[in-house]
A and B are shown apart, each in its own frame.
Chain A
Amino acid sequence: MTSEELKSVTANQIVDARGTACPGPLLAAKKAIGDIESGDIMEVLSSDEGTKHDIPKWCEKMEHEFLGIVEEDSYSRLFLKKA
């Protein structure tokens, strides 16, 4: 999905991991994924640059669908759909 399309997406769960360094955002996503249903959308907020590589790779391995990233001024919004 494009960044513009993602801006209109309402996530079922928002995980705010801003201010934490690697592996904080990944661990936060891993913890929260168990709380949502298959097909639900999760949004991870992260100010850690490495998360933009980690979360898409993690989704690929865990078979979640990585939807894309929306960049904000000081953080990123990463969207995924649970497998």
Chain B
Amino acid sequence: MTSINLILINWNYIVVILLMMAGLYIIISNQNFIKKLVGLSIFQSSVFIFYISLGKVSGGTAPILTGNDETLYSNPLPHVLILTAIVVGVATNALGLALVVRIQEAFHSIEENKLLALKKFSEQEDRQL
């Protein structure tokens, strides 16, 4: 039963690892640029969960002063950090999506394999110049 206990205690962290691997796999395996960004989002979210789990103190409450010295508080700092990281993640995604729109306009495709073929072609053009 100890192994089940171990899984239950570390449940958050197991989810973090699964999400992280899933996110990375999506980024690596997908050809579609939007799907890559989705993978990136999942990857970043796993880190958010990691930080939030770190800040939780078992039995602790929200860090609002109660006036009682014996109250156990959760650590608010990782949560605040993640608030910043979420903003950064949103900005990254917004810029990524904006770039995908521009890529679609310029190349009429957002599939990596098609673009790579196009890119090779234009590199040959460069050489002939």
Say if A and B assemble together: no
